[in-house]
Amino acid sequence: MSTFRRIDSLLEGKSSDQLAREVAARERERKAEPHEPHHQTPSHQPRHEAPNHPQERKPPHKKARPLLMRTSGSATEGIYGLVLALSVIAVSWYYGRPDAAWVGLSVLVTAVVFWLAHVYAYVLGRDMTQEQRLTPGEVGDTLRENWSLIEVVIPLVLVLGLGALGVIPDTTAIVAATVMAAVELASAGGYAAARHGASARGVVAAAAAGMGLGLLVVVLKAFAFTH
């Protein structure tokens, strides 16, 4: 735009040849002028670095979920089912009956009885505190919600069934079922800690606490049954 302004100012009282020569001369002068270097940030100036945010821990993979989290019902009922199964197995050890068939049947029957008891308690308590009665569909939802109490003991019953069929010794089957239930409680505690971003030590501590508390409940229940 500066070039056109200069041309306008030269149009007064000058011939076209003179104007052309002057314009060409000014253009050559402009091109010959040194260009100012681009402004560069001095090397000694500190750079602005992105804030170092702590890395978010990813939740555990779905494949790492314990059996309790893969059931169709409540994980709470699943934990109760494991503790209940361990209690029945502990009582069988106390009475000195290493009979895998009897222990497996006891675990399964006890789980079914407590499943029905939990559903009945919920339905009756709801009817006592709410104005409207539960519909058949809501009762069915309650049955499914508590079904995990039975689901978690099925693998234990299958292992005990191997002992009942003579595939493995009865004592081996009972010990294997006990270890499976205890490990499942430990994995539940470790999974809960990992899901909330705990470190490796925190996960191990939570797993040990989950197994320890579960076994403590088993001991207390066994003591109550036998005294």
pLDDT in tens, 185-227: 887 777 777 777 778 888 888 778 877 877 787 677 667 666 6
pLDDT of residue 157: 95
182: number of Cβ within 10 Å: 18
pLDDT of residue 104: 93
Higher pLDDT, 78 or 66: 78
Neighbouring residues of 143: CB distance < 8 A, sequence distance ≥ 6? 119
pLDDT in tens, 90-145: 888 777 667 899 999 999 999 999 999 999 998 888 888 877 788 888 888 888 88
pLDDT of residue 102: 92
pLDDT in tens, 29-38: 766 665 555 4
| Section 155-182 average pLDDT | 92
Please give the mean pLDDT across all residues of the chain: 76
pLDDT of residue 108: 95
CA-CA distance, 214 to 199, in Å (whole number)? 22
pTM: 0.64
pLDDT of residue 225: 63
pLDDT of residue 65: 62
What separation in angstroms does the CA of 183 have from each of 24, 132, 199, 212, 215? 92, 42, 20, 11, 11
pLDDT of residue 187: 79
The DSSP result for the chain, as a single string, is -HHHHHHHHH-TT--HHHHHHHHHHHHHHHHHSPPPPPP---TTSPP-PPP-PPPPPPPPPGGG--GGGGSSS-HHHHHHHHHHHHHHHHHHHHTT---HHHHHHHHHHHHHHHHHHHHHHHHHHHHHH-SSPPPHHHHHHHHHHTTHHHHTTHHHHHHHHHHHTTSS-HHHHHHHHHHHHHHHHHHHHHHHHHHTT--HHHHHHHHHHHHHHHHHHHHHHHHHHH-
pLDDT of residue 54: 47
pLDDT at 43 over 60: no
pLDDT in tens, 45-63: 555 555 554 455 555 555 5
